[in-house]
Amino acid sequence: MRFTHRGNFIDVSLRISILVSISLILAACSSPAPQKAKEPPKPIEPVAARVAFQQAFIAARTWAQDLEVLRVRDILLDGVPTAPGKSAVWEITFVSPSKSKARAYTYSAVERDTIHEGVLGGPEESWSGRSGQATSFIAAAFKTDSTEALETASGKSKPYMDKNPGKPVIFLLEKTPRFPNPAWRVIWGTSVGTSDHSIFIDASTGEYLERMR
């Protein structure tokens, strides 16, 4: 009788152990998987003009094969950081002589309501060979980057910069009758119209051209 009672006790204990183990396994299986912590947003990285230009040029080649450049400019956005000679958003306008059309492409390192991250082409516009004073030029003429243009322009602007520390700088690249090659206009201020100081830099040679007030 004692042996039988002991055997029954062992049998019951074994069953309980098995049931507990099964319960633990089921509980583990039914528990929700731990959620991965959200990665912090990547910092916005402003780029020099030629980085944006190269990306936009690749995209624009699917629109037209005979691309020429009309304009390169940066776009300032509130709350979006910049770096010397760099911007988070650039706009590059290409033209196609065979189509008689122009098309602006934006390169953006940030997503905003009206600006999409990456490269985006805008609508076609008619093109008759001139936009104001600006005419088109071949992509190979664009050799001097915005960072290099700023460095040269800053060297010619030290007295002005000392009197106006922290003033924003914007960039405009065009070819006009003013100079034989396309030229950067490095502009201290938020627009061409309101600026009281800008420097022209040859976009092909990198040489200083002229100061304008």
pLDDT single digits (tens) 152-172: 999 999 999 999 999 999 999
Low-confidence ranges of the chain (pLDDT < 70): 1-41
> How do residues 54-72 score in pLDDT, each as one tens digit?
999 999 999 999 999 999 9
* Identity of the residue numbered 2: R
What integer pLDDT is reported at residue 43 of this predicted model? Answer: 79
Q: What is the pTM of this model?
A: 0.80
